[in-house]
Amino acid sequence: MSDLTHGFCLIDWEKLVRVFAALLTPVIACVTAYIAGQQYKTNKNQFRLALFERRIKVFNFTGDLIAVVLRQGKVANNDLSKFLWETRESGFLFGPDIPAYLDELYEKASDVYTFEGAVDEESKEKRKAALLWFSNQGEQARKRFGTFMTFSE
C-alpha cells in the first residue's frame, strides 16, 4: 500500500508542477507589465524634471531683470542683452502668454534704460511709469510662471 500512496504523491506533484508551469507565463507577463509601467512613470518624471529645470532658468533670469530694475532704479544694456539671450527658449518651453509677458518686460526695461538721462517731462514720465510698472512684477512673474512650474499632473 505504501507503493500505491507513493504513486499518488508523484501524480499530485506532476499536476502541481504543470499548474505552476502554466501559471508562470502569466505571472512573468504581469511582473513585466508592472516594470514597464514603473519605467514609463520614471521616464515621464525625468522629462518633467528636465522641462522644469529649463523653465526655472527662464524664470530666474526674469527675476534677475526685475530685481536689477527695482534695486538700482536703472538697467544696463548688458542686463537687457543677457535677459534676451537667457530667455530666448521661452517660446518652446511655455505657452504664448509667457513670451508675450517677457516681451512686455523687456519693453518696459528698455524704457527705463532709454529714458534714464531724460530732461524733458514726457520722457521723465515714461521712465517713471516704467519704473512704477516694475514695482509689482515680482509677484506678477510668480503668478504667470506658477502654472508652468508645478509637478502635478
Task: Give how far Cα 138 sits from Cα of 22, 57, 69, 133, Å.
Answer: 64, 15, 11, 11
Instruction: Give the separation between CA 134 and CA 48, rounded to whole angstroms.
Output: 31
Instruction: Give the separation between CA 70 and CA 88, rounded to whole angstroms.
Output: 23
In this predicted structure, the answer to whether residue 32 has a pLDDT above a threshold of 60 is yes
Q: Return the pLDDT at 15.
A: 82
User: Which residues touch 35 (CB under 8 Å, ≥6 apart)?
Assistant: none
Q: How confident is the model at residue 11 (pLDDT cuts 50, 70, 90)?
A: low
| 138 in Cβ contact with 66 (< 8 Å) | yes
Q: Return the pLDDT at 1.
A: 47
Cell numbers for 3, please give them.
Answer: 507503493
Cell numbers for 68, please give them.
Answer: 536689477
More confident residue, 1 or 41: 41
In this predicted structure, the answer to whether residue 5 has a pLDDT above a threshold of 70 is no
Cell numbers for 44, please give them.
Answer: 515621464
Q: Return the pLDDT at 7.
A: 52
Tens of pLDDT along 35-48? 999 999 999 989 99
Tens of pLDDT along 107-141? 999 999 999 988 899 999 999 999 999 999 999 99
Taking Cα atoms as reference points, which of 73, 47, 82 lies closest to residue 128? 73
**Torsion from C-alpha of 77, 79, 82, 86, nearest 10 degrees:** -140
Cell numbers for 54, please give them.
Answer: 529649463
User: Which residues touch 113 (CB under 8 Å, ≥6 apart)?
Assistant: 74, 75, 76, 77, 80
Tens of pLDDT along 58-111? 999 999 999 999 999 999 999 999 999 999 999 999 999 999 999 999 999 999
What is the pTM (predicted TM-score) of this model? 0.77
